[in-house]
Chains A and B, each alone.
Chain A
């Protein structure tokens, strides 16, 4: 073979890019499935109770309506450890917005009209949807999402706090937030005998197929997922959600293919939102800034269906050295929709609290916030004692500071006025675990000289398809245009989801292993490829299992420059700069987009996102994109993502750490810290609204006020 430039590390254009810019890329709802009907979900209007009666008569009288489904006329599903997916399996209502019936009709318009005509009567029970500290239902779970312990403790944190010369004790809150993927959850379900094909917006085709098969009591392989393109996931499409199950149930009931798309309004209660958190952080420090005690407590909510508790305090377990430490998750199961994963579950809200607290402590100590973090850099993982596979937090802080222009910053708050604007800068650290799961892949040499690599991965916008093509091409020693990389089908075999930032690490390992094995096989047969090709299959289960015990995390430093309108309290983020250390970067182009995208979402959660719980109804008062604000073009100005070269041999053959979530972690704290620096107002509750900023600003126009443009 001729020597080829390695493509890993090169700025390769997305391999499916052309399909996406021409509109040719097909998303779940768009597959041309003949004879399909349309289903529309009817949602519960009460937060708790029992469906007494469903009257389908008015709906059924409409021409074109094929069926009205409720808990009495759909197939029975198997018991599941994800009760959220037991769609229409009982008349019980656990939250407002739960699916209680559905209409199947020949057109989208008729399905919608008929759904509004279904009459549902309830026996209503009392409900309680308010998350309050002191609620007797609060408990500490043994384990939380990701399998982490609910509570950890080392040393005597209370004694250490009592003895510490400097103590910071503050409470931070984050609201419920919604993934709000641009592609609403959509599925087309097609039954053929006892096999089910689901065209599904999906982050993990193989895992979804396995889960749906289990639900319907079907053998493995009887459910096939097709998910070539997925319009954003952020955790919400990592497992099937109720709309997917509804599509399968409805198609079964009517004996025809059925399409379901959650409406934008339905999305807010039907698919995953991020739990609100109430976090109390106590830090004890010496006067030189060295931490002696860290205590991080997080209160969260779930529905009564499932005790989902996200890992809000696990970020604190690895961040800083301190002899005495305690971290606790507390959970209350309320009469609310079920929260679930949203980009960096746990880490994103957890690091907002921890990194705001570190900033407050730096102010208290009169210390530069970067120096404070450097002073507390641990030599080993502070809780597990494991060595770090690599940890370049300090280098990120230092290099980021140099690029951002941190040197010479006057730490005093509220001093930099430009017309009506107060300017400030802030910093925060971030981390995200570098996870890897076992995966399988096949690599095949085609007689024509091309190679086909197949893996049940998903590209939800991460660039996975492109990066995996690069990994395969390099292992095979061929140019990338000789590699066809097929993803998005459960039929390609066991593979994890695009979640926990583990996609590329896990899939890439399997692709790399399969390609290496294929090269070896080709050598053995002296390159003679049989007419039907030569295929090998790889499974990384043993390789992943055999890894040594290390603390594996990606790290970074986030810098923000903000302006705050001294009169209105409006916050504008002029500049975000992230400096990351995440192992080897496979594709700088798509990696840059991933990291900047995470930072944009971090900015969005810092300033805008807030699902307003309405305790009277038990769900959210805002349920569309006009009332649930996400960052728009005008909100996002200069956003830069950079990274250090980082060699780490303890990860996977590519030496990569996941970056899908790293970019959102710490952003909100960097912005809140910059708002403090600009104004002297410490906002401990997200989002940082004008009301919250203004509440801390002096009344009346500031000295030197001049009416300048307020929107740019």
Chain B
């Protein structure tokens, strides 16, 4: 660690003086970095590792656009300092397909395409990473505010109804209002459709 010179008074020490050399493990690769301690994980990815898939929508934990997976759990990367993510396994949207290898796309990425679960696409990487995390949580039986019996939790992800998915995904805002398509995509992957043909939420069609 490089820090303030010895004898520096607190008020002489700009945070600028504090940098560390460290590595982040991102999408399976160790990436060496020298960063100001104030750099968030989100900015480390976007500004220093050219991984711009994680988006900045608010920079303070209110929109979910920056969601990545840390050791498999969904996390708002704007709320984590990069230095604090050392030794963790970070997966970004650029790496989620690898979780489903040998597929070219993660099933959720495919489902988002099939259900048109996005418009501008800015919230999309966060939605997809968050959905992966949400389904992992459900697989453990974790309840949500929408779960009827908190003690019993939920069974399998496939048992999540639309309200459960909406509740669990509510940390990921979409100003384009692609919510119906997003929920349909997640339900399909969760197995809620029983593996049938993609049900298109809010199906559109012409009256003939």
Contacts and interface: CB of A to CB of B under 8 A. Distances in A.
A694 B191 CA distance: 40
Interface stretch (B2-10, B35-43, B69-77, B152-160): B35-43
A644 B206 CA distance: 5
A22 B182 contact: no
B93 interface: yes
Contact of B120 (A460, A591, A626): A460
A232 B116 contact: no
A535 B127 CA distance: 41
Contacts of A229: 120-121
Contact of A113 (B15, B52, B177): B15
A264 B60 contact: yes
Given A182-B174, A596-B180, A461 B50 contact: no
Q: Which of B51, B120, B165 has the most CB of A within 10 A?
A: B120
A21 interface: yes
B124 A183 contact: no
A540 interface: no
Contacts of A232: 119-120, 122, 175-176
Contacts of B174: 182, 633
Interface in A656-672: none
A595 B204 CA distance: 9
Given A107-B36, A625-B62, A630-B175, A590 B116 contact: yes
Contacts of A30: 46, 52
Question: How big is the B interface, by class?
Answer: 35 or more
Contacts of A181: 120, 122, 175
Contact of B105 (A22, A594, A599, A625): A22
Given A182-B173, A597-B176, A634-B170, A25 B202 contact: no
Interface string A628-639: 001111101111
Interface in B159-208: 162-163, 165-167, 169-183, 201-208
A263 to B, nearest CB: 6
A639 B122 contact: no
Contacts of B47: 108
Contact of A643 (B15, B43, B120, B204): B204
B59 A593 contact: no
Given A182-B65, A182-B123, A264-B62, A637 B166 contact: yes
A687 interface: no
Contacts of A180: 175
Interface in A131-183: 179-183
A340 to B, nearest CB: 17
Nearest to B57: A182
Contacts of B165: 633
A645 B175 contact: no
A642 B170 contact: no
Contacts of B173: 182, 625, 630, 632
Interface in B106-164: 109, 112-114, 116, 118-125, 128, 145-146, 162-163
A30 B123 CA distance: 15
A234 B15 CA distance: 38
Given A183-B122, A264-B59, A633-B169, A598 B207 contact: no
A712 B162 CA distance: 11
A712 B181 CA distance: 20
Interface stretch (A10-18, A73-81, A282-290): A10-18
B99 interface: no
B177 A17 contact: no
Given A21-B113, A113-B14, A634-B166, A596 B177 contact: yes
A91 interface: no
Given A108-B43, A643-B204, A589 B120 contact: no
B102 to A, nearest CB: 16
Contact of B56 (A25, A64, A113, A184): A184
Given A24-B53, A264-B58, A633-B166, A641 B16 contact: no
Given A592-B204, A633-B169, A712-B146, A231 B58 contact: no
A624 interface: yes
A19 B118 CA distance: 12
A23 B94 contact: yes
Contacts of A32: 50
A27 interface: yes
B53 A23 contact: yes
A600 B124 contact: no
A545 B173 CA distance: 42
A588 B173 CA distance: 24
B97 interface: yes
Nearest to B125: A23
B40 to A, nearest CB: 9
A257 to B, nearest CB: 14
Nearest to B47: A108
Given A22-B105, A264-B57, A593 B181 contact: yes
A704 B58 CA distance: 44
A337 interface: no
A24 B92 CA distance: 12
A342 to B, nearest CB: 11
B177 A636 contact: yes
A641 B202 contact: yes
A625 B182 contact: no
A437 to B, nearest CB: 22
A109 B36 contact: yes
A560 B128 CA distance: 29
Interface in A607-640: 624-626, 630-634, 636-640
A142 B43 CA distance: 48
A352 B146 CA distance: 32
A700 interface: no
A146 to B, nearest CB: 24
B16 A64 contact: yes
A633 B182 contact: yes
A63 B171 CA distance: 37
Contact of B55 (A21, A182, A630, A712): A182
A234 B207 contact: no
A72 B145 CA distance: 55
Contacts of A109: 15-16, 36, 38-39, 43
A184 B202 CA distance: 28
Contacts of A182: 55, 57, 63, 65, 120, 122-123, 173-176
A302 interface: no
Nearest to B106: A21
B122 A645 contact: no
Contact of A462 (B14, B119, B122, B208): B119
A657 B116 CA distance: 21
B54 A23 contact: yes
B205 A638 contact: no
Contacts of B62: 264, 624-626
A494 to B, nearest CB: 24
Q: Which of B56, B93, B208 has the most CB of A within 10 A?
A: B56
A594 B116 CA distance: 10
Nearest to A638: B202
Interface of B: 14-17, 36, 38-39, 43, 46-47, 50-60, 62-63, 65, 92-94, 97, 105, 109, 112-114, 116, 118-125, 128, 145-146, 162-163, 165-167, 169-183, 201-208
3 nearest A-B residue pairs (beta carbon): A23-B53, A600-B177, A592-B204
17 contacts: A13-B114, A20-B118, A62-B16, A107-B39, A108-B47, A182-B174, A184-B57, A232-B175, A588-B205, A596-B178, A625-B173, A633-B166, A633-B179, A634-B170, A636-B177, A645-B208, A711-B145
Interface of A: 13-14, 16-27, 29-30, 32, 62-64, 107-110, 113, 179-184, 229-234, 261, 263-264, 399, 460-463, 579, 585, 588-601, 604, 624-626, 630-634, 636-645, 711-712
